[in-house]
Amino acid sequence: MPIQVVESQRLYRQISAQLRALIVAGEFPAGTRLPAERELSVQLGVSRPSLREALIALEVEGHVEIRKGSGIYVCELRRAAPEDPDISGEEGPLELIRARALIEGEVAAYAARAGKKRHFDAIRDAIDMMAADAKAGKNPLEADRLFHVRVAEASGNSVLVGVVRRLFDARLGPLFDQLDRHFDSADVWQQAIAEHRDVLKALRTRDAASARAAMQRHMEISYKRLTSSLTRAG
């Protein structure tokens, strides 16, 4: 079964489906290593970020194991179990971040114009909660969510608050969990906290353009981190 070019407009599900079919058909036997990311993306005719989303999906499903500094290895085939995570309805993590950058950048600009001191103080409190959680060795994800929701609340628009909540909650699934296992660290959270403080600083100046840029920069850094190599060591 030869590898086929994946149409560029297709999402990570189509890429993972083709790789899954090749694994099941025995083209990549259990225990063998898949071609390097660069080679595989060329063979499939897709971008490396899109390939990485597909590989994460295959890892969640138990078809491959991604080993930092070594490569991507094919796992033994097994029957699906009821407790296996269902990722069929999950959005692609990278598309989600791009959507958040677009929408939350404008939300931050709106918040800079409409927000009041109490809103900005509440945003500061959310950042402080993140810092306290990180210092205590606790995952600051809940406080991270609170930060983004409170920025939306500063806009005074309840629809935008709901949109930001839904966008953030879309990342609370198996695909993002698996990405976090590869890329999350104490340093990453410290960087995110600093980026959040930059957003708040721009909000307090009531400079809509600066607030938009600070939020979009925060999302762009997240995007670049999640599109870095899955197998490169260090």
Predicted local confidence at residue 81, as pLDDT: 67
Predicted local confidence at residue 230, as pLDDT: 79
Euclidean distance between CA atoms 21 and 79, whole angstroms: 14
Euclidean distance between CA atoms 23 and 75, whole angstroms: 9
Fold of the domain built from segment(s) 12-74: Arc Repressor Mutant, subunit A (1.10.10)
- Mind listing the pLDDT tens digit for each residue in 106-152? 999 999 999 999 999 999 999 999 999 999 999 999 999 999 999 99
Confidence of residue 79 (pLDDT cuts 50, 70, 90): confident
- Mind listing the pLDDT tens digit for each residue in 158-197? 999 999 999 999 988 888 888 888 888 899 999 999 999 9
What CATH class has 93-226?
mainly alpha
Rg (CA), the chain: 20
Cite the residue boundaries of each domain of the chain with CATH code 1.20.120.530.
93-226
- Torsion (CA) 172, 173, 178, 182 in degrees, nearest 10: -20
